[in-house]
Structure 1
Amino acid sequence: MIGAIVLILFLFAINQGLFSSFSKKHKWFSKKLMNSLFLYHIFFFLVYYTYATFNRSDSKSYFGRPQGGNSWLEYFGTSTTFIDFISWPFINVLGFNYEMMMVLFAWFGYIGFVYAYMFFRENIPIKIKVFKNFDLLMLTLFLPNMHFWTASLGKGAPIFMGLMMFAYAIKNPKSRFMTLILGSALVYFIRPHVFLFVAVGTVLGYMTGQEKISFGRKLLIYVGMIGGLIIVQDQILGVAGLEDSENLVSDFENFSQGRSQKLDNAGSGVSMTSYPLPLKLFTFWFRPLFFDAPGILGLIVSAENLIYLLLFFKILKKDFISFLKKSPVSVKMSLVVFFLSSFAMTFLMSNLGIIMRQKSMVMYFLFFVIYYYLAQKKYDRIVKLRRRRKKILDGRDLVS
């Protein structure tokens, strides 16, 4: 454990260098907040490490597998293999033990939160209070379940980092090109099908967004995303064994049914196969709730899911559709990524434990849409009040 403590201190020092760089780009960047968030995330590393000590955890397999290979390149590939590829040099060259690898991947998850903070704060400068006294950005950044599933050795931490790097970089792809490429690569190599959703969401967002975007910037995005999908289409379909399929719809239905039945028997199963689509989506987004929580962890997650549900209710308004029509690229991209990912996963997930872990990838895109919607409403109210005051003052000037 001494090695893990030394690594935490080393990564804390690296954070300060990163923060200095981000502060130069964004005057609103808060080093104090990010340092507090780091300590909070490290706490969840300790929670997950304790949990993994007494329970079955995939993190132990992720630590063991890279030790059995002869060369680094034999682990280069997609999905689980790519996590082993990332881990190999740290374990076999630098001599990281299990605790140090857990810390390293927890740091990857933390960097995801740093980019999430910048993604939200750059696009939404207005502060929003929810549930009377809670700052929505702070609430979003400190949600326990999000930190728990991104604080261990596995897929959750690096793919969350990749998604948030991509979301932040896509606003200015030319000046953030390396961040965009790294984020895209992480998403693609860890979960190729999620890269599909991100690419489609980005293209649709740029096609329908209300901002005036230069032709060159649009062309860069279209060629990059669509060209990338064409190049990697076989790998994406290969996730479900559909690369040689002649009937994608039928073969995907058979794959998803078989996957769902396997997960049904994995412990905390919910029989979603016969659910209508709205109920499948509700299950993926907001369950477990208190009535079906699997154990103590499930009860904690249920409390957080209740927060998700209450936040979701805030966009169930008549003006939300008109807001979407006028919304910028970032909002439309986030909504498409969220819905496409949710739609696909509802056909594959039927185990509450896996659902709790998997949805942490995409829930931040929903939070961003909710946050932007509430901020836009607040901004519109402020503008109306200013216009009224201006009319009143103008009227007084005329009378005098």
Structure 2
Amino acid sequence: MLGGIFLIFILFLISQMLFSGMARKHKFFDKSRMNYLFFYHFFFAGVYYTYALFNNSDSKLYFWRPKLSNSSWFSFYGTSTTFIDFLSYPFIKFINFNYEMMMVLYAWMGYLGFVYAYLFFRKNITIKIKVFKGIDLLTLILFLPNMHFWTASLGKGAPIFMGLMMFAYAIGEPKKRWGVLLIGSLITYYIRPHVFLFVAVGTILGYFTGKEKISFWKKALVFMIMVGSLILVQDTILGVAGLNDSENLVEGFEDFSEDRASSLSSSGSGIDMVNYPLPIKLFTFWFRPLFFDAPGILGLIVSVENLIYLLLFFKILKKDFIEFLKKSPISVKMSLTTFFLASLAMAFVMSNLGIIMRQKSMVMYFLFFVIYYFLAQKKYDRIIRLRRKRLACVREADFQ
């Protein structure tokens, strides 16, 4: 326990050094807000640790697997669960981190995900938006409890969230942020190869359809890099669903999703989604559990947050949203494509509310970004219209 507390102090100091560098690059960077976020996130790390002490938790398996192994470090090299063991191995075997220290280390990775999410939002959206009668939208998004709970422990949730947010932040200026982009890409690929596929497709679509004027050679370069990466890792991506030897990928995915959904629905908080129509599957993945089907006290707490998701989602159900998408920048189209493709894939295989609560924390921030950008664009358009009206009135008065 003392080792974990000491490590929190060390990581807080390291965070301050990182913040100094970020503040030099970005004048908008708010150190005080990030420090509040640090302690908020580690409060949930404490909550999760307490929960894990009295309940089954994958975090224990992720610790004891490398701890008890007599195998070499690189015997764990691989994708998915294996990569988490590979990532943890040197800290557990070489530096002798205990369980509490590993929980703290991974919680910090999750925290860095929120820091890069903050950079991603603020770098692309400068306008402040208020929702629900005066609540700052960015603050609301950054402090959503469920997002912190599932990214504050030893496991896949914290590093995959960090990798995705690093990628989202860096792809805006890949030449300047190539190091962050590379790290984010590698983390995403090694933990969730199929999610890397969605991000790559979203990036390609964004670069080719975004409103920014980008030279053909830059578009071609992005296309070749992303497609080349997908070709190199296609066997790993297909292997996640056991499709690398399939002659019919569509039929193979349907069989895999049905088997996976059936196995998950048999657990405690399982729901039979196999025969749900697609819109209901997506609604379930995005917004359930709600109060009527919440599994336990945790489910009730999550239901409040899901209601917030639903209310935010209603804000883009407008006639002018499609027109906005047509003229939207790379970041918006990449985010929406990544969110929708990931949701589509996971909605077919997820049929357990507990797993859904954990898995969707990976991709919901991409939806939040689209909502935030849409609301900011509408506010900006209103401001421009008012300025034009005032200017017209001034000109008319001068003419008279």
Which residue of the partner structure matches residue 148 of structure 1?
A: 149
Q: Indicate the residue corresponding to 1:61 in structure 2.
A: 61
Q: Give 3-state SS (helix, strand or coil) of 1:205's partner.
A: helix
What's the offset of the Cα at 1:222?
Answer: 1.1
User: Which one-letter code corresponds to 2:3 in the other structure?
Assistant: G
1:42 to 2:42 alignment: yes
Deviations, residues 122-175 of structure 1 (Å, cap 9, x unaligned): 000000000011000000000000000000000000000000000000000011
Structure 2 residue 321 is matched with structure 1 residue 320 = yes
Q: Which residue of 1 aligns with 2:160?
A: 159
Q: How does 1:294-305 map to 2 (within 5 A)?
A: 294-305=295-306
Aligned-residue offset at 1:223: 1.6
Give the TM-score of the pair, scaled to structure 1: 0.99
Deviations 1:199-228 (A, max 9, x none): 000001111101012334323321211110
Tell me the number of residue pairs that the alignment of Structure 1 and Structure 2 aligns.
Answer: 399
> Deviation digits for residues 97-133 of structure 1, max 9, x if unmatched?
0000000000000000000000000000000000011
TM-score (norm 2): 0.99
Matches within 5 A, 1:27-38: 27-38=27-38
1:94 aligns with 2:95: yes
Cα distance in 2 for partners of 1:84, 1:31 equals: 33
Task: Give aligned-pair identity as a percent.
Answer: 71
Aligned pairs for 1:70-81 (under 5 A) are: 70-81=71-82
Is residue 2:187 matched to residue 1:186? yes
- Supply the AA of the counterpart residue of 2:151: T
- Local SS of the residue matching 1:77: coil
Structure 2: distance between partners of 1:223 and 1:25: 29
SS at match of 1:63: helix
CA distance in structure 2 between the partners assigned to 1:359 and 1:97 by the alignment: 29
Q: Which amino acid aligns with 2:39?
A: L
Q: Distance in 1 between matches of 2:137 and 2:219?
A: 32
Deviations 1:11-31 (A, max 9, x none): 000001100000011000000
Matching of residue 239 in structure 1 with residue 240 in structure 2: yes
Per-residue deviation, 1:69: 3.5
Distance in 2 (alpha carbons) for counterparts of 1:205 and 1:269: 36
Instruction: State the Cα deviation string for residues 39-92 of structure 1 (Å, max 9, x = none).
Output: 000000000000000111000000011121421100000000000000000000
The list of structure 1 runs, each at least 4 consecutive aligned residues, that deviate by more than 4 angstroms after superposition, is none
SS of match in other structure, 2:349:
coil
Q: Which residue of 1 aligns with 2:120?
A: 119
Q: Distance in 2 between matches of 1:72 and 1:218?
A: 39
Does 2:369 correspond to 1:372?
no
**What stretches of structure 1 of length at least 5 have no aligned partner?**
none
SS of 1:17 mapped into structure 2: helix
Distance 1:69 1:135 in 2: 51
- Structure 1 position 198, deviation (Å): 0.3
Higher mean displacement: 258-267 or 356-365: 258-267
Partner amino acid, structure 2, of 1:177: W
Question: Which residue type is aligned with residue 383 of structure 2?
Answer: I
1:204-223 equivalences under 5 Å are: 204-223=205-224
Amino acid at match of 2:4: A
1:253 aligns with 2:254: yes
Matched letter for residue 3 of structure 1: G
Amino acid at match of 1:104: L
Find the residue that maps to 2:233 and give its secondary structure.
helix
Distance (Å, rounded) in 2 between the aligned partners of 1:265 and 1:306: 26
Alpha-carbon separation, structure 2, partners of 1:318 and 1:135: 24
Write the distance in 2 (CA, Å) between the matches of 1:103 and 1:91.
Answer: 13
1:341-377: per-residue Cα shift (whole Å, max 9, x none)?
0000011100000000000000000000000000000
In angstroms, what is the RMSD of aligned CA positions? 0.6
Cα distance in structure 1, aligned partners of 2:128 and 2:120: 14
Aligned to 1:286: 287
**Structure 2 Cα separation of the partners of residues 121 and 320 of structure 1:** 21
The offset of 1:299, in angstroms, is 0.2
Output one character per residue of 1:241-282: Cα deviation in whole Å (capped at 9) or x when no partner: 110110111111111110011101121011100100000000
Alignment partners' CA distance in 2, 1:221 and 1:184? 14
Q: 1:216 and 1:330 mapped to 2: Cα distance?
A: 19
What is the identity, as a one-letter code, of the residue corresponding to 2:98? N
* Distance (whole Å) between structure 2 residues aligned to residue 180 and residue 223 of structure 1: 16
2-structure distance, mates of 1:266, 1:229:
34
**Cα distance in 1, alignment partners of residues 74 and 221 from structure 2:** 31
Query: What does residue 5 of structure 2 align with?
Result: 5
